[in-house]
Structure 1
Amino acid sequence: MDGLVTDAELVSRALNGSDSAFSRLVERHQAAVRGFLRRALGGGWAEADDVAQDAFLAAWRSLRSLRDPGGVRAWLCGIAWRKAQDRIRSSRRGAVRDSLWLETAETPAGVSHEDRLSMIAAMAELPPDVRACVALCLADGWSHGEASAALGLPLGTVKSHVARGRARLLKALGGSDDA
């Protein structure tokens, strides 16, 4: 049944306020947009899906700018490409910022440059919630209670994440958690 309704008709209905018509356009073209983004970004599916979601939201907001309702797939891919370029630029800026920070960050006395790089790599491998707890409690000196409140995690969870994270970091540095 959906194949009988053209893209142009769905665009017209969406322009007249039909959320379901736009939803049908998304359903019809999401595989093409997501596939294009996966190839264009060269990354994982999650990143491509995030960018696709941003693109569809932008398309909904700017639907009135669509000049050729029959060419909605190309229009959607164009929006997706611009969103992908934004993501790529943002990633590059982040990488430059991180690199500059690493170059200018002071290494604490007694910590070698190699150990600092090992620590950064080990932190990157921690699950995000564990990494957040370790960053706040061990690196920034927050109490477990403060981290619990800031992260919205139970106090016991913060304590176990910090202990687990400390153990993994020490192991990455060739030490043991005997303290």
Structure 2
Amino acid sequence: MNPAGLDEALVAAAKDGSTDAFSRLVERHQQAVRAFLRRTCGDWAQADDLAQETFLAAWSRIGRLQAGASVRAWLCGIGYNKHLTALRGAARSRVREASWEAERPPAPAGMAEDRLALEAAMADLPPDQRACVALCLAADFSHAEAAEALGLPLGTVKSHVSRGRARLLQALGGGDA
């Protein structure tokens, strides 16, 4: 059977609900669709994601495929529309992010340096102490919640938080406040 005839037979079976036939169509055309999308997108990971979306959409739209139409061309058309939709979504995201950045108040001077100093000081804490400080001081966990999350005794969490806070204040040049 010639390739076009095989595609027609597989499409007819897929229209009747055969997942095996549709699976064979995917096997026959996925390499071409992925290659097309990789060239179009320039991003292999995104192209693979779009190819997955293409075949999902094709399964739900198989009944709309005209008799005698090229399956490969139809799939590439769906893929191209998925690509255009992704481009529009990325453009909208960039506009939203630019708008948010424009409206955001400027960061106080020295904030980046303070953040780096805090990260360095946190990295110097022992792992259990760092975890307790991160949960109780940064994530607003209660000592009991942190103890439950970390599987440590409540008293140990309290002492880790106290010692960790003191070490951070000392490392950052703060007092006992």
Identify whether the pair has TM-score above 0.5, normalized to the shorter chain. yes
Show structure 1 runs of 5+ residues with no match.
Answer: 120-136, 149-153, 157-177
TM-score w.r.t. length of structure 1:
0.61
The separation in 2 between residues aligned to 1:144 and 1:88, in whole angstroms, is: 40
* Overall identity of the aligned pairs, in %: 42
Q: Name the SS of the counterpart of 2:66 in structure 1.
A: coil
Q: Name the SS of the counterpart of 2:70 in structure 1.
A: helix
Show structure 2 runs of 5+ residues with no match.
Answer: 117-133, 151-170, 173-177
Aligned to 1:133: none
Aligned to 2:140: 143
Aligned to 1:64: 63
TM-score w.r.t. length of structure 2:
0.61
Q: Deviations over 1:61-115 (max 9, x none)?
A: 0111111445100000000000000001101111111111111111233257xx5
Cα RMSD after superposing both structures: 3.2
Aligned to 2:39: 39
Instruction: Give the number of the structure whose alpha-carbon radius of gyration is greater.
Output: 2
Contact 1:6 1:70 in 2 (8 A): no
Query: Which contiguous aligned blocks of 4+ residues in structure 1 show a shift greater than 4 angstroms?
Result: 1-5
* Deviation of 1:3 (Å): 6.3
The separation in 2 between residues aligned to 1:4 and 1:100, in whole angstroms, is: 50
Q: Deviations over 1:107-165 (max 9, x none)?
A: 233257xx59xx9xxxxxxxxxxxxxxxxx79xx63368xx9xxxxx956xxxxxxxxx
- In the superposition, relative to structure 1, how do residues 31 and 107 fare at CA in structure 2: closer, same or farther (>3 Å)? same
* Deviation of 1:35 (Å): 0.6
